[in-house]
Structures are given as C-alpha cells and as structure tokens.
Structure 1
Amino acid sequence: MAITDLALSILCIAALAIMAVQTAQAQTEDGFTDHGVAAAVSSSRGAVATVDGDGNRLLLVWLSDYQACRSMLVVDVATGETEQVSFERPAHDSPFAFVLSSRNRYYSQFADRFYEFDPLTRTFTFVGQTPSRCAMSMTEAPDGVIWAGLYPESSIVSFDPDSGELTAYPKLNEENWAQYPSSIAVDDAGWVYIGIGNTEGQVVGLHPPSGETRKYIAEDQRTLGAGRVFRGTDGQVYATGPGWSWHILSNGDAAALNAEKPPVNPMPIKAASWQQVFPDFPDGSKIEELNIPERYLELKETDGTVREVTFDYESEGCHVMSIQLGPDSALYGSTGHPLRVYHFDPQSGQMAHNGLLGDMGHLNAMTVQGELIYGAQYGGGILHCYDPAMPWQDRHPDTPNPRRLGAAQPEINRPAALLAHPDGRHLIMAGTPGYGRTGGGLYIYDLETDTDEVLPHEQLLENLSTCALVALPDGNLVGSTTVHPGTGGETRATEAELYMFDMASRTVVWREAILPGRDWLTDLLLGPDGLIYGIAADSTFFAFDPATKALVHEEMLAETYGPPAGSQAPRIMLNGPDGNIYVLFQRSIVRVEPGSFEHMKLADSPVPIHAGLVWLDGSIYFSNGSHLWSYKVPGL
C-alpha cells in the first residue's frame, strides 16, 4: 500500500519494469504440467512502524499470500533484514482489522483466533480461541483492554493484557445477513459500542458487566449502509448511521449532537482496517511509501533525507483469479490481493507480472475484443483496457496502459462475467452488487463512442445477479443468474433464473427458473449445435434450446465428477477444436459430446482446479491456488 502522494508515484514510472522469471515447468506422466507461480508476491493485511526491545526500528506486517495470513513479517528498516514469524491457525484466513496498543503490542483476530505479538521479543505471546471468524474493527480502551467486533454475527471479544484473559460476549444483533461491525469504541463508563453494516446500518451498545445491550437506530429508520462510532479526543464517544444523525453515547445513553459533525477528531488510537499503514516511528522518522509486492519501502529520516530500503520475504504467491488467451497467443490473467496482471509465454515458459495502480483487488473476468485485452475488476466493477503490443505504464499521466474505461459500482462490485459482443463494438459486464446490496446489474460499454450505461437489477431480474453471459447469432444475449447478494447483503430471491436479453431495446424478453430450486446457474456456453449448455453450482448439467425456449437436457453429475470448478468468474466450459465441449470440475476434466450429451472423464487432476479456462495448442489451461497449470488433451 503506497502512502506517498500520487505525484511522487507518477515520477517513478521507470520502476514499473516487468518482473520476469523462468518458470519451472514440471510435467507429470498423465499429461498435466505445473507452469509455476504466476506472481510470487504477498500482500499486507495491516502494517505498523514501531521498535523492538533494543530500540531498533521495525516494520511489522501481517503477511498474506494465497494461503492467507501465515506469518508476521518483521523488517529492520535500518538494514532491510527480515524475519518471518509463523503461527498456527485452524483455517485459511487473514486480518481485516488490527491494533497496536499503547504498550507496544500488536493484535488481530482472525481464523477464530485472537493473536498478540510482542515486537520487543519478536514472538507471539498469546493465541486464544474465539467464537466467530474475524474482527472487522478493534480498539484499545482507556484501561488498556483490547476490544474487537467480530464478523459475521456482531459478537464481541475482549483481551486483558495484564491477566491474559480472553472474554467472549454473545452476539449483540440478530440479522439474516452477514454483519460487518466496522467500527468500535469504549466510553469512560465501560460501555462498548459497535457500528454495524451493510444491508441496514445499526449502532449497538454493550454493558459488559451486566450483559445489557441497547440498539440506537429505530428499525423504521434503518437504511443501506453502516453505523459508525469513534472515541473523540475529548473522551466522548460519537455515533452516526444512515438515517440517524450524530449522537453522543455515554453510559449507554444516546443524546443528539445537534451539529452536522462532531467538534473533535477521533482519538489517535493505532487501530484500523487491513489496508492501513501506521508509518511513524517513535523517534520522528517515517515510512513514506511501503510496497510489499515490489519488496521495498521509502524511509524518511528525522533530518528529512529519504532513502529506499529493500527487503525480501518468502511467498507462495497470490491467488490466480483469471486466465485469458491474448491476441498474441500468450496467456494473460490476474492475481488477487495483490492485483498483479501476469503474462505467460507458452513457447518459452517465461512468466512476468505487473501491478495495476497498486490496487489490492483482482480482475475477475477478462476478454479480448480486436487486438486489445479487457478486464473487469473487483472492487468497484472497474473496466480496464490493455494493449499488449505497447509498454506497460499504468501510472502514466497522459497515456496509461492499461487505462480505465469506466466503473459499474454499485450495481456491480464483484464481476462474474465480461462478454466481448460479436458485433466488435460492445463489452458487457455482469456480477454481484456492492456491499450490503441485493441484485446486480449489467454494464454495457460502447467502444465506438467511448460511452457506457448501467442497467440496475430492477430493470432486469429484481434481486438476482447475472453470473454468465453468451451472445446468440442474432446478437441478443442469454444470461444465467444467482440469488446470492453482494457481500454482506440479504438474499431475497429463492431461485436462479435463465433469461434472454434484447440488445437493441435493452430489455429482458424472456425469463424462467429452468432448474427449480437451484440458487446458482454457474456457467453458460453456446455449443456448436446452437444449444446453450450450462452447469449449476450443484453440478447439474443442462442444455437449453434458445429457439424454442425449452430445456432439452438435464443431468446431475455431482456423484460422477464432484463439484464444478471456478473462481469468482467461473468460466469452466469451453468448445474444443474437435467439436466437443470441455468442462472443468474441481478434481477432473470432462468431455461432453454435443447433441447426444454423452460425457466421459478425461483425467483426474493431481490438484484442485480453481480458475479457468483457456484452450491453446491442444492443452487446457487452469489455475490451482497461485499456480498456472495445463492438461494436454490426448489426440489433440
């Protein structure tokens, strides 16, 4: 996460050279090849500047790769020397909030565990089990007790560093959606308050000694968004929320502030969400920039001089989220957290990757229109355009490459599909909406006019989100949907539907729940016989005739092949050069004959299959975690 200003970053274009390595390609006897890690980098899930017991300046980073957070990275900023302190955890998870206490202890809670790290000794000094997955907010109370608000049920835990006692409290609020307690504060009377989102904002208070809870926003006032609380520099706790003006909370009671905003700033507690860096050392020196993927930081000394400090760490690489065949017959794709756009040359085995504006999201879906590559990014539903024939210069002020074309937020936040329309003119993005929302829209970009339009779910299929799209020969679209809302949203539909969309009028002209009871029709493919082939999340394989609008085949394949593969944009079906259809399941590759619907397993994968799917030179390419893999199809 860069903490310098944008102007300084623009001057550093020369540092954006491609990072290329020769991948070690290990081929197995059954036709599978591991092409290696796409991007051997990690991301920060919270970073603080502090000192150890000898006064050495340290940078502490919760370090995360595709296996999530497994170590604390300790960087001696004077020398660049590093140490990775590992720890046990019961599940793959990473911090979403952290706090550096006034006693110089570093805390987080995730993977159902509460962690205390002591920079004086560079060791974890406490690990305790908690009742809920991860903290979305943390704080230090005036008495030094650490508090955390936990996702997804808005429960609370406290940790007393004097006694080492970890206390769990019952959930404070009941909802039928996953709750994000994104802020937390403690008043002088010992009451603890959390601000909750996102489907409907709320502020809740807890009196720990008695267990009493109070809700402050009336049900008829609650709207989309999150409540917010903070302890001010005057010692008062301030709170607000959507539909609820600023209030002062004291001893469990709320009093209207009668002002547009609080008169004071938040107390300077070093507590924040995972993207934050606290850059200031006790001696007045400061980290001006921190770049974990590129493995360097800029340190500003007390005399004003700035120097670069390089460091290293071990990483298993970040998740491969997408794979796309480029116009130059190379493979392109995106990793997630951090976002790195990788390039793989199948002929030489060379792998290269670049960061995109320092973002921490991922390009879920990619496509090619003409000689250009397009990517749809989480978060924000951002559409990017990349010319692989030109140099990578994402931060160039005049001619960036890639360049941002537009964004679909909040109608689309997590893209699931990006279709290059056969008219050569349009791109259509689909996916789930912003946090706390239900129902995703369609985003249509016109390459000729450089204009875009967003169609909300109310104009399409209310409370459903499109997860796959295909274009028919007449230019109209067929889409499949899911009932799942945006992250932290409320599920309001009961069945996924298939629909037909008229491009000229921008309207849905037909819709039906062709597989009753299914909540997610994962992927679609236009077969060589004109039928639409698809697969549901429960591994129901189906074929649909768009001419008669009838389901012509339905078959459950879960017992035969297991669950389908797929990442956040599940492209797991592809037409092969032999006229057959190829489908990726998590542990197998399957061939389907169009028309007869006969299917057979080609191979069991030696690794779980995640994102896909590209066909090139007789091989099917897919991802497993941070690795790019391929399978050579016999006879092709």
Structure 2
Amino acid sequence: MYNELIDHGTPVVAEEERTAAICTKEEESRFVIAAKGFVLIVDLEKGTSKQVSFPLANKEYPFASFSSGGLFYTGAGKMLLVLDPFKECFVDYQVIENGEEIVGFSFAEDSEGMIYFTTYPHCHLLSYDSKSQHVADYGSMHAEEKYPGTVALDTHGWAYMGIGTEKRDIIAYHLITGQKKSLLSSHQRQKGAGYLYLGTDGTVYGHIEASDLKNVLTASQWLKFSQGECNPAADVAPSSFVGTGFQKVHIPDESNYQIEHYSLSEGLVQISHKDSGIQKTIHLVYHSEGAELSSLFLAPDGYIYGTSMHPLQFFRYVPTKNSLQNFGALEKGGGGNICAYASHENLLVGVAYAGGKLYVHDLDQQSSIPRLVLEEDQIHRPRCALALSGTKEVIWGGFPGYGLVGGALAIYNMDTEKQVVIRNEDILPFHSTICLSELSNGDIIGGTSVEAPGGAVSKEQDARLYVLDRTTMQLKCSFVPFKGTREIIAIYTDMYNRVHGVTGLGMYFIWDTEMNTILSGKDLSSYGEPIRSGFVYDEPNHTLYCLMSDALIAIDVKKPCPEPILKKGLVAKASSGTVLFNGRVYYGSDSHLYSVIIE
C-alpha cells in the first residue's frame, strides 16, 4: 500500500436511534424516529419506512420530540423542526439565534395546543404556534444549571421545568405575569434532576428523587403541580411518554399502537396493537453514512481495534489484508464508545463511556467480542488508559458523571479482575485526569482537565501536569504548564524522560522532568484541533508524531530541544487517532478509517 492517502472504508454502517413519537391523523399512524441528520417515518399499518433529511444539511443530534395534531416536533442543534409525516416533509424549520447550543431539549403542550420547548445550556423556555409558526422566547429559567430535562404546563397558565444536574431544581413560571420561582428549598437542591410530566388526566406530576436525567421513573413520594405550587400526590396518572433519556418516545392517547422496541442499528421496530394485543416486527430501510469513530489501538496481535460512537459497535482492521470486520454491539454499550485502550500479552482492555465501563478482550479468541467486567461511575466519561510496566495492571481515568466536578483514577488488575479507585480529592481536587504516561522509574505522569462536561460548574481555572509515586500512589508534584489552559489533551514520555504534551488550545510543549522546566512551546492551532490519543512514536526513526485535525506533525526526539515540523497536511480531516503500522499512520475521519504514509 504505497498510496499517499488510503480510505479503508466505513467500519460501522449504522445509526443511533434517538427520540421518537407516534403521530396520528384520521385513524392513520406514523412512527417517527429522529436520528443524527434525519428522521425515519414508519407506516405502522403498511410496514414501510421513509427517510427524510434535516433541512440545510443539518447533521446535529436531536434530544427530544413531541407529537400533536399529526405533526412531529423536534430540535437539532439550534434548529427547531416541524415534520408532517403524512406528507413526508418538513413543513417548518427555524434556526433559533438566542445564544443557546441545543434547541428542543424537552417538549410539552398546553390545553390550547401551543407547543413549548426548552434549550441547553441556559434553560430557556420557548413556545411555538403551529398556526402562525411564531416562536416566542420567555428567556432563561435558571442562572446556574444547564439541563432542562422535562417541561409541562398546567391549565392555569403555569409552566414547570425539571432541571439538573449539579443541583436539581423545579422552576414554576407564569406565562402571562412572568413570575418565576423555584419550588425546592435550598436543602432539597442536591445532585440530581427535577422530573415532571403532564398526566393523561391533565394534571402535572413529578418528583425530586432522580439521581440523573435517566433514572426518573420511580420515586417514594410523587408530587402534583398546580397554580405554581406543588403538593404530595396519593396517586399519579400515567404519562404519554415511555422510556427515558434521549430515547424517550411520545405516544399520544389517540394512538392505537404501543412501541415495544425500536433500533436503527438493528434495523427494526417491534409494535403491539393496544386493543387486539397483536404484535409485529417492522424491518427498517435507511441510508447511513456510518457512525463516527472513536480512538484506535494497535494490539499485540498486529490488528487495529476500535469502536464507533452512537451507536457503539466494536470493529477490527487487519492491515496486512486491508480487511475490516464489525463484531457489533457490546454488552450495555448503547450510544457510547470505548475511549481508550491498554494491553498486556493477549488481553486488551478498553474503557468506555457512558458509566465508566471496563471491557476485556481475549485476543486469542478471534471471533469473540470484549467482555464487560465492571463499571465505575466516578469515571463516567473515560479518556485515558495505560498499562503499567512490569505489572498486569492498567490505570485509567476521565471525567465524572452528571453534576460532578473532578474524576477519579482506577487501577485494574488483569489477574484478579479487581480494581482500586483513587478519588480526585486524593490527587488534585476538582481535576479530571484525561491523559497518562510513565517515567522510566515507573512513576505516573498525568495531565488534567478542569472542565465539567456533566453540567456542573468548574471549580478550577488551569489544567495541571502531575507525578504520582508508583509505589505509594501519592502525589509527588504538580504544576500549571500554561495559565489559562483548561485541558491537556495528550502526553508522551520519550527515552530521555521528557514529557511531550499538547493542550486543548493546540499548544505543544516539552517538560523536562529532571530540571522541572518547560523546554519549549509552540502553537500548533493553525494545523487544526488536537486529537485525543494523538501521539504515536516511530521508534526506528526516533520520531514522535502528533496528530492534529488538519495535519500530521513530526518531532525528532533525538535533538536536545526538538521543534515540531509539518510532516503531512491531511486531505481527509482527522477526528480520532491514532495508530502507526508499517510506515503508515491510521486515524479516523468521521465514519471512515484512513491511513497516510509517513516515509
């Protein structure tokens, strides 16, 4: 393979099903599944499906949807979308320019048929009039929290918003007077989410016991909401929503069907008729550009492994045969991805979002898939993994779950399948370790992030590098390489115990661990964004490569003060990295696996 750039294909040709709803009109029903960049309209009587792309080539993910009057409402990015599934087209779409990133984080309807929806990250409440197509923005409902997971309207002009995740809340807002208030006391505002819905009896119900946005369906004490107040509820009516999270389905009362299961990656919908109980399976047909790829890893067997994101499916590429094999979904994988890998002899360890899942794959079992061994929610969003030399242990880290700041480290033993967890409070409070390396004496180098992607408020300003004593696992030292840098994306330790790193802003640096000084720094941001797992070392040529989204950068580590130089411009933009094999660097470009020659 001597071509400069090779497209090895799409390892995972599948899409992740997101929110969905049944739309009814004149005793006909359509089941609409929203996905990244399109909807799939399923005729439940005929068993056929029709794919309709979002307007303006919008490729964003939807998060919630709603059905009313035969129309389907959802949002993608900043765009509100209104679909007529019977005409099989979008009858309205509007780009909402109010400073928000996501439009349509939750949906509801009032007794007059007005549609209400929310936004991320400032929890705006908006309304949509389907007759005039007018959108009204009532402004932000919360100054601190970001996730308006639910919204509902009573018959007295009050809107209620269930909010999380760092400190749960339920906001009541009067649509006419503009009165706004929290219905929770200060001591009730703990980690979690407020939850509510409009019952089939026209009453708004909810509770404040949800630990996150998904675990909402059970509570020891339910509440009912009316006229801007809440009181204990002895009984609750059911919701027209089924399921949780971003796969929640809205099923209006007038629908004759129940959705038992739906999956784009499996290509099917299983339904039952409410009256007859008759069940049937509809097979879906749609076009997919493929699922975006996550990090890649060259295992000891000489094969390249990876997963896709949304949905998570596990694949292998054999460079010597130029062949791809998709092994499919992993246990409890869902819409996540294996973010980082480490290996020892015949065992490959992968750590995955969401929920801090750790999988082990026996490389000797060629036809098997990785086995789920454990879950650690203190590392809800893993970002790095490292096989510790001289042991059969893997250390891994990443971000915590929703509403938290600072992720843990964990040391997993391949023999015992047990692990020890080290809290961020015992290393660097409010920091998450997102890259790891090792010094020649076995001490562990970590690079951190001060971001809080689960909706909490960051408590620190600057990312740090640190050294852990390998024997005691105690912090030996830490420092800020650059003020104002919130993340250190990747690090690599060379043969001289110098640590090469790149920050989230694209600043490349070298840290001399013996002198405890930064030897050099160079801004690489003109080459695009830094790629996680973006360092790879060419040992015969003593060259370290750094993958940026638009270029491959080379660093000659033999030099006393090496300078990064442009090696290759990338025609196909990189989105995930990276493996070096037989003179080629392999990387992900959205859903495609590419390689570029380096000689």
| Counterparts in 2 of 1:618 and 1:465: CA distance versus 1, 3 Å | same
2:371 equivalent to 1:403: yes
For residues 277 and 206 of structure 1, the distance between their equivalents in structure 2, rounded to whole angstroms, comes to 26
Show the counterpart of 2:226.
250
Equivalent residues of 2:83, 2:90 under 8 A apart: yes
Offset of 1:97 from its aligned partner? Answer: 0.9
Show the counterpart of 2:217.
none
Q: How does 1:179-190 map to 2 (within 5 A)?
A: 179-190=146-157
Residue of 307, 321, 330 corresponding to 1:356: 330
For residues 192 and 120 of structure 2, the distance between their equivalents in structure 1, rounded to whole angstroms, comes to 16
Offset of 1:412 from its aligned partner? Answer: 1.1
Q: Secondary structure at the match of 2:285?
A: coil
Show the counterpart of 1:310.
283
2:39 equivalent to 1:98: no
For residues 222 and 191 of structure 2, the distance between their equivalents in structure 1, rounded to whole angstroms, comes to 17
Question: Bigger shift: 610-619 or 596-605?
Answer: 596-605
Residue of 344, 347, 364 corresponding to 2:317: 344
Equivalent residues of 2:162, 2:196 under 8 A apart: yes
Offset of 1:273 from its aligned partner? Answer: 4.2
Show the counterpart of 1:422.
389
- Amino acid aligned to 2:126: V
Offset of 1:264 from its aligned partner? Answer: 1.0
Residue of 294, 300, 314 corresponding to 2:266: 294
Q: If the length of structure 1 is used for normalisation, what is the TM-score?
A: 0.85
* Greater RCO structure (CA 8 Å; 6+ sep): 1
Q: Deviations over 1:89-143 (max 9, x none)?
A: 4854211111122x22211123222222122222212222323322222122232
- Amino acid aligned to 2:320: Q
- Amino acid aligned to 2:548: F
Residue of 115, 122, 132 corresponding to 1:153: 122
Question: Bigger shift: 270-279 or 584-593?
Answer: 270-279
Show the counterpart of 1:11.
none
Offset of 1:509 from its aligned partner? Answer: 1.8
Residue of 125, 131, 136 corresponding to 2:91: 125
Residue of 110, 113, 127 corresponding to 1:144: 113
Offset of 1:621 from its aligned partner? Answer: 0.6
Offset of 1:415 from its aligned partner? Answer: 0.8
Q: How does 1:193-592 map to 2 (within 5 A)?
A: 193-219=160-186, 221-241=188-208, 247-254=223-230, 256-257=231-232, 262-268=234-240, 273-277=245-249, 284=256, 286-300=258-272, 307-353=280-326, 354-357=328-331, 359-390=334-365, 392=367, 401-409=369-377, 411-548=378-515, 550-558=516-524, 561-566=526-531, 570-577=532-539, 578-592=541-555
For residues 225 and 324 of structure 1, the distance between their equivalents in structure 2, rounded to whole angstroms, comes to 35
- Amino acid aligned to 1:296: L
| Counterparts in 2 of 1:438 and 1:135: CA distance versus 1, 3 Å | same
Offset of 1:529 from its aligned partner? Answer: 2.3
- Amino acid aligned to 1:345: V
Offset of 1:429 from its aligned partner? Answer: 1.3
Q: Secondary structure at the match of 1:324?
A: strand
Show the counterpart of 1:8.
none
For residues 392 and 206 of structure 1, the distance between their equivalents in structure 2, rounded to whole angstroms, comes to 56
For residues 148 and 316 of structure 1, the distance between their equivalents in structure 2, rounded to whole angstroms, comes to 29
Offset of 1:343 from its aligned partner? Answer: 1.2
Q: Secondary structure at the match of 1:571?
A: strand
For residues 305 and 349 of structure 1, the distance between their equivalents in structure 2, rounded to whole angstroms, comes to 47
Offset of 1:424 from its aligned partner? Answer: 3.5
| Counterparts in 2 of 1:182 and 1:586: CA distance versus 1, 3 Å | same
Q: How does 1:624-635 map to 2 (within 5 A)?
A: 624-634=589-599
- Amino acid aligned to 1:576: D
Equivalent residues of 2:512, 2:519 under 8 A apart: no
Offset of 1:160 from its aligned partner? Answer: 2.5
- Amino acid aligned to 1:431: G
For residues 388 and 201 of structure 2, the distance between their equivalents in structure 1, rounded to whole angstroms, comes to 58
Gap runs ≥5 in structure 1: 1-24, 65-69, 394-400
Equivalent residues of 2:242, 2:248 under 8 A apart: no
Q: Secondary structure at the match of 1:458?
A: helix
Q: How many residues align?
A: 581
For residues 476 and 503 of structure 2, the distance between their equivalents in structure 1, rounded to whole angstroms, comes to 22
For residues 319 and 113 of structure 2, the distance between their equivalents in structure 1, rounded to whole angstroms, comes to 56
Q: What is the CA RMSD across the aligned residues, in angstroms?
A: 2.7
For residues 234 and 129 of structure 2, the distance between their equivalents in structure 1, rounded to whole angstroms, comes to 30
Offset of 1:498 from its aligned partner? Answer: 0.8
Q: How does 1:63-78 map to 2 (within 5 A)?
A: 63-64=35-36, 70-77=37-44
Q: Secondary structure at the match of 1:274?
A: helix
Q: Deviations over 1:277-335 (max 9, x none)?
A: 46899785555432311323345567666554333211111110111112321111011
Offset of 1:478 from its aligned partner? Answer: 0.7
Q: If the length of structure 2 is used for normalisation, what is the TM-score?
A: 0.90
For residues 288 and 199 of structure 2, the distance between their equivalents in structure 1, rounded to whole angstroms, comes to 40
For residues 262 and 239 of structure 2, the distance between their equivalents in structure 1, rounded to whole angstroms, comes to 24
Show the counterpart of 1:398.
none
Equivalent residues of 1:139, 1:269 under 8 A apart: no
| Counterparts in 2 of 1:264 and 1:587: CA distance versus 1, 3 Å | same
Equivalent residues of 1:439, 1:486 under 8 A apart: no
| Counterparts in 2 of 1:390 and 1:53: CA distance versus 1, 3 Å | farther
For residues 611 and 81 of structure 1, the distance between their equivalents in structure 2, rounded to whole angstroms, comes to 36
Offset of 1:479 from its aligned partner? Answer: 0.4
Q: Secondary structure at the match of 1:373?
A: strand
| Counterparts in 2 of 1:75 and 1:192: CA distance versus 1, 3 Å | same
Gap runs ≥5 in structure 2: 211-219
Q: Deviations over 1:429-451 (max 9, x none)?
A: 11111111101110111122221
| Counterparts in 2 of 1:307 and 1:388: CA distance versus 1, 3 Å | farther
For residues 243 and 130 of structure 2, the distance between their equivalents in structure 1, rounded to whole angstroms, comes to 16
Question: Bigger shift: 329-338 or 222-231?
Answer: 222-231
Show the counterpart of 1:116.
82
